[in-house]
Amino acid sequence: MANNTNLHLAKKIKNDEFYTKNDNFDAINIDRIGDIPKDYNGIMGVPLTFFNVYNPEQFEIITLGSSPKLFTATKRYENLLRHNIDGTKTKEHICCNQCLTIAYNTIPDSKIYFTASNSDKYLVTPYKRLLIRRR
């Protein structure tokens, strides 16, 4: 649903650490609508609740970042292994190759994460994200 009022953007990009970059697509991850930066012109992955404040004059929706039919990752992970919270593992998982993925240097706390034979990072797929860009 489109909104005809502009979303008030207050956050500024101060450093690269606040906004996590996706490992398999050139976009930053935004966990909350209130964290959308006002001074960033690149692609952002935002929660689906963005539809509640979407104004087509302010933002362009590019695609859904968690759909293999709509999203094409720029990096492919090999021999993916899913690490469940209870310590069990699932082989040959494909999730990271079909949706936005964030790479961490340390094992994430209390989250399902993935490892791949061609990455030395711990991979996490955030909840569904819309890929957007400011107009």
Evaluate whether 114 touches 80 at the Cβ level (below 8 Å): yes
Q: What is the pTM assigned to this prediction?
A: 0.82
| pLDDT given for residue 4 in this prediction | 57
What is the C-alpha separation between 13 and 97, in angstroms, rounded? Answer: 28
| pLDDT given for residue 91 in this prediction | 82
In order along the chain (135 residues), what is the average pLDDT of each group of 10 residues? 62 69 94 89 94 93 87 93 91 85 94 95 92 94
